[in-house]
Amino acid sequence: MLDSLTTSVAPITADTWPADITLQLSHSKHGTRLSRCEHRGPLYVQKPFYPEGPDHAHLYLLHPPAGIVSGDTLTIKVDVEPNAA
């Protein structure tokens, strides 16, 4: 399980635009579901879609500023429960 992954492109300054998101994927009788999605700042997830069937959720993360504010800090935490994909 990956607890968190943080990538810093530029030093953090007062002009940065921080954002974080916490996601949890769980397995149910209907397949893998996004059971938790909490965000702060301009980092979002679109509705999950399932091109490979109900057991494999695909998620698009959206960051509307697209790095325009130099030094943006994005923190993404994902918890994948047993049997979820």
Total domains in the fold of the chain? 1
Give the Cα-Cα-Cα angle 31, 36, 72 (nearest 5 degrees).
125
Question: Which pLDDT band, with edges at 50, 70 and 90, does 16 fall under?
Answer: confident
More confident call, 72 vs 79 = 79
74 falls within a domain: yes
* Residue 85 covered by a domain: no
This prediction has a pTM of 0.75
Q: Encode pLDDT of 23-75 as tens digits.
A: 999 999 999 999 999 999 999 999 999 999 999 999 999 988 876 767 788 99
- For 59, the domain range is 5-80
Q: Is residue 78 a contact partner of residue 57, using CB atoms and an 8 Å limit?
A: no
Task: Spell out the long-range contacts of 59-64 with Cβ–Cβ below 8 A and sequence spacing 24 or more.
Answer: 59/23, 59/34, 61/21, 63/19
Whether the per-residue pLDDT at 1 is higher than 50: the answer is no
